C-alpha cells in the first residue's frame, strides 16, 4: 500500500468524473517507521518525519496540514493504527476513511486540549447534516501523551469502532457509507480564527500559535480489504462496480472515457 497526497475528482459533483479507484489487495501492515517501499508524501521533514517511534506529523507554521493518504482503496474492511495525538488547544489529530464522492468514516478525532476523550463519526456523500452522528468516547489514559490503538470494522451492514481492542461504538442499518475509501492520517488546526466559529468551538477554542510546533505520532497501520477485484469504478449515476483491469477499462470505454480519473 502506497501512502500519497493527491486530490481525485468527485463523481457526485462532476458530470465528467468517473472514478477508477485501484483496490487494495488483501491486507497490509506498515510500521510507519521508514519510507522503505511503502510510503510517500508530498510533505518532507519537518512536516512528515519517519522515526523508530513511528511517523511524526508536525505543524511547524500556522497553515501547515501534514497528511498521509493511501493511494489504494478499500470497499469494506478493517483498519487500525497506533496514534499519539498532538497536544495543543484547537489541534486535531485525525484518522479516517474517505471516498472520492465524500463518504467518510472518522475512526478517531483526537483533541489536543482534551486528552480524556476522542470522537467517532461518519458522513454520506459529504452531507454535513449528519454531524449529529458523532459520538464521544472517554479514555482512561491521555490521548496526547500515550499511544492508543484506534480501529474500525466497516461492512455493508454495520460500522464498529474500537480503541485498544475494545469496541466502543456500533452502528447498523441503512444510511451508511457505500463508496470505496482511502485511509488517511492528518494533523490540522481546527482552532484557527479563520475557521467557522462552530469548528473552532468543536476543536476546543482558538489555537495559541506561540506554542508551535505541534506534533502527532502514528505507527503500526493495519488495513484489510474485504472486497476483491482490481478496481472500483463508479460515476454520478452509477453504483460501484468491482472489476479487474480489463473489465474496468471496457466499462470506461463504453462511457466514452479514455483517460479515467484515478
- 65-74, 90-99, 102-111, 247-256: least confidently modelled range: 247-256
Q: Could you tell me how many residues make up the chain?
A: 262
pLDDT for position 1:
58
Sorting pLDDT into bands at 50, 70 and 90, what band is 154? very high
**Lookup: cell for 102:** 465524500
Which one of 72, 104, 158, 243 is the catalytic residue? 104
**In terms of pLDDT, which residue wins out, 35 or 56?**
56
Is 118 within 8 Å of 150 (Cβ atoms)? yes
Sorting pLDDT into bands at 50, 70 and 90, what band is 241? confident
**In terms of pLDDT, which residue wins out, 215 or 19?**
215
CA distances from 25 to 1, 53, 77, 97, 101 (A): 9, 27, 11, 17, 22
CA distances from 79 to 94, 185, 238 (A): 14, 12, 27
The predicted model scores a pTM of 0.89
Sorting pLDDT into bands at 50, 70 and 90, what band is 6? very low
Residues 130-140 pLDDT 10s = 556 899 999 99
Is the pLDDT at 115 greater than 70? The verdict is yes
End-to-end alpha carbon distance in the chain: 15
Residue 188: phi, psi to the nearest 5?
A: -150, 165
Is 182 within 8 Å of 262 (Cβ atoms)? no
Domain topology for 3-7+20-228: Jelly Rolls (2.60.120)
Summarize the confidence of residues 87-110 as an average pLDDT.
Answer: 97
Summarize the confidence of residues 231-258 as an average pLDDT.
Answer: 65
Domain map of the chain by residue range? 3-7+20-228
Which of 138, 136, 79 is closest to 104 using CA atoms?
79
Is 22 within 8 Å of 1 (Cβ atoms)? no
Summarize the confidence of residues 121-127 as an average pLDDT.
Answer: 90
Mean pLDDT of the chain: 88
Residues 156-209 pLDDT 10s = 999 999 999 999 999 999 899 999 999 999 999 999 999 999 999 999 999 999
pLDDT for position 18:
81
d(CA 237, CA 233) in angstroms, rounded, equals: 12
Is 224 part of the annotated catalytic residue set?
no
| Backbone dihedral region for residue 242 (phi beyond 0: left; psi -120 to 50: alpha; all else: beta) | beta
Q: In what order do the strands lie in the sheet with 135-138?
A: 3-4, 67-70, 182-189, 91-98, 104-111, 117-123, 135-138
Is the pLDDT at 148 greater than 80? The verdict is yes
pLDDT for position 30:
92
pLDDT for position 38:
47
pLDDT for position 239:
73
| Backbone dihedral region for residue 32 (phi beyond 0: left; psi -120 to 50: alpha; all else: beta) | left
> Sign of the C-alpha dihedral, residues 68, 160, 74, 123?
negative
Is 245 part of the annotated catalytic residue set?
no
**In terms of pLDDT, which residue wins out, 127 or 36?**
127
Which one of 61, 109, 156, 193 is the catalytic residue? 109
Is 161 within 8 Å of 148 (Cβ atoms)? no
Amino acid at each position: 500500500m502506497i501512502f500519497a497526497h493527491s486530490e481525485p475528482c468527485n463523481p457526485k459533483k462532476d458530470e465528467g468524473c468517473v472514478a477508477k479507484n485501484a483496490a487494495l489487495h488483501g491486507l497490509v501492515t506498515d510500521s510507519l517507521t521508514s519510507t522503505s517501499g511503502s510510503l510517500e508524501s508530498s510533505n518532507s521533514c519537518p512536516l512528515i518525519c519517519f522515526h523508530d517511534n513511528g511517523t511524526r506529523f508536525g505543524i511547524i507554521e500556522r497553515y501547515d496540514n501534514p497528511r498521509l493518504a493511501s493511494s489504494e482503496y478499500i470497499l469494506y474492511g478493517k483498519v487500525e493504527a497506533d496514534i499519539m495525538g498532538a497536544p495543543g488547544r484547537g489541534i486535531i489529530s485525525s484518522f479516517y476513511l474517505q471516498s472520492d464522492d465524500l463518504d467518510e468514516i472518522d475512526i478517531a478525532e483526537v483533541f489536543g486540549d482534551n486528552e480524556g476523550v476522542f470522537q467517532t463519526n461518519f458522513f454520506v456523500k459529504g452531507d454535513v447534516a449528519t454531524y449529529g452522528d458523532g459520538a464521544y468516547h472517554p479514555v482512561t489514559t491521555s490521548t496526547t501523551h500515550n499511544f492508543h490503538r484506534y480501529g474500525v470494522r466497516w461492512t455493508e451492514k454495520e460500522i464498529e469502532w474500537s480503541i485498544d481492542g475494545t469496541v466502543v461504538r456500533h452502528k447498523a442499518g441503512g444510511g451508511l457509507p457505500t463508496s470505496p475509501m482511502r485511509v488517511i492520517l492528518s494533523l490540522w488546526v481546527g482552532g484557527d480564527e479563520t475557521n467557522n466559529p462552530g469548528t473552532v468551538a468543536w476543536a476546543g477554542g482558538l489555537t495559541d500559535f506561540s506554542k508551535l510546533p505541534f506534533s502527532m505520532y502514528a505507527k503500526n497501520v493495519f488495513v484489510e480489504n474485504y472486497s476483491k477485484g482490481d478496481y472500483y469504478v463508479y460515476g454520478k449515476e452509477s453504483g460501484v462496480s468491482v472489476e479487474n483491469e480489463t473489465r474496468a477499462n471496457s466499462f470506461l470505454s463504453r462511457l466514452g472515457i479514455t483517460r479515467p480519473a484515478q
